[in-house]
Homo-oligomer: A and B are copies of this chain.
Amino acid sequence: MIACIGAGVIGGGWAAFFLAHGYDVVAWDPAPHAEARLRRTVEAARPALNALGFPDAAWGGLRMARSLPDAVRDAEFVQESAPEDLALKRSLLADLAAATGPDTIVASSTSGFPMTEMATAAEDPSRLVVGHPFNPPYLIPLVEVVGGAATDPGVVAAAAAFYRGLGKSVIAMDREVPGFVANRLQEALWREALHMVAHGDATVDQIDAAITDGPGLRWPVHGPCLTFHLAGGEGGMAHMLDHFGPSLLAPWTRLDAPELTPALRDAMVDGTAAEAGGRDFAALVAERDRAVIAVRQAVEEARRD
């Protein structure tokens, strides 16, 4: 049984995900009408999970708990998805650590607070870990896992293994960085977008079209590094950095770039080469093209339905 603490958009999405994987879920949320909202969220997620191959027959059962201790008493794993409020998280995680047994992992869906800052009120913070999903948790595979200073490293490894066992794509970080990886990248883009709207440089619909009809079509198949590896043509990331490196000094965003030191250049070139594995330029181009065509067609169909 898995306990979902907080049953809003994220907590409800997690509940649907765990239910589809056959787990019983006990949820707790002190907000008014929380149960009705949770059941709406789960039902809205059901067609998507059915389409991904999780038939209703295999689903677990969903129960709303009357209290926090009631919710977590028999939980083998706790997923906390309370509002993004540091004081609230501190108090809630302390209560969860106290109310759970010594083998129960308590994972927080926080979008960016380091666990070291959230765990300050817990008597035993060793089982507290960040397990940060992306909305909706039942569809987006990414989960970022990172512990705080007092988290048992075995708990970090066990949480990563738990999520991986459910088919999640896990980034296990060994260092706490506010916003983790994906939200830092996404937040940089978002802040630039807000600056552009604030300054009248672009409208909301231009910003969204710039992504959906532009680089957003490549990102499901190749991340930003592999994308720029291809932008370098047959010379790859090395050519790209040597050719476009000077544009890092251009006023293309309000974010200053780091100095392109030889060490950074080599880290990018070597990391991208490792990621490309044996795939040469032609193979990567063919893969990207197949994916972009299929993605375009998939999105057109989804918009039409």
The distance in angstroms between the C-alpha atoms of A228 and B198, with both chains bound, is: 17
A285 an interface residue at 8 Å Cβ cutoff?
A: yes
Cβ < 8 Å to B, chain A residues 249-302: 250-258, 260-261, 263-264, 267-268, 271-272, 274-275, 282, 285-299, 301-302
A256 touches B258 (CB 8 A): no
Which residues of chain B are within 8 angstroms of A169 by Cβ–Cβ distance? 209, 213-214
| Other-chain contact of A9, B48, B233, B297 (Cβ < 8 Å) | B233
**Bound complex: CA A305 to CA B222 (Å):** 15
> Is A140 an interface residue, CB under 8 A from the partner?
yes
| Copies, count | 2
CB neighbours (8 Å) of A34 from chain B are none
Which residues on B sit within 8 Å (CB–CB) of A98?
A: none
Chain B residues within an 8 Å CB radius of A210 = 142, 144, 171, 181-182, 185, 223
Contact across chains for A292 and B193 when beta carbons are under 8 A apart: no
**Within 8 Å of chain B (Cβ to Cβ): is A158?**
no
Which residues in window 147-193 of A have CB below 8 A to B?
A: 169, 171, 173, 175, 177-179, 181-193
CB-defined contacts of A302 to chain B, threshold 8 Å: 221, 287-288, 290-291, 294
Q: How many residues of A contact B (CB 8 A)?
A: 119
A142 CB to closest chain B CB (Å) equals 4
**Binding site secondary structure of chain A:** helix
> Whole-angstrom distance from the CB of A77 to the nearest CB of chain B?
21
A301 to B182, CA, bound (A): 24
CB of A205, distance to nearest CB on chain B (Å): 5
On chain B, the residues within 8 Å of A303 by CB distance are 221, 287, 291
Contact A219 B225 (CB under 8 A): no
List chain B residues, Cβ under 8 A from A247.
84, 111-112, 187
Contact B291–A218 (Cβ < 8 Å) = no
Closest 3 CB pairs of A and B: A208-B223, A204-B271, A294-B298
Could you write out 15 A-B pairs with CB less than 8 Å apart? A111-B247, A139-B217, A140-B217, A169-B214, A181-B196, A181-B201, A182-B211, A191-B255, A193-B224, A194-B257, A208-B226, A212-B220, A212-B222, A294-B301, A295-B298
Other A-B pairs, 4, CB within 8 Å; known A141-B214, A181-B202, A220-B299: A140-B213, A186-B224, A254-B256, A294-B302
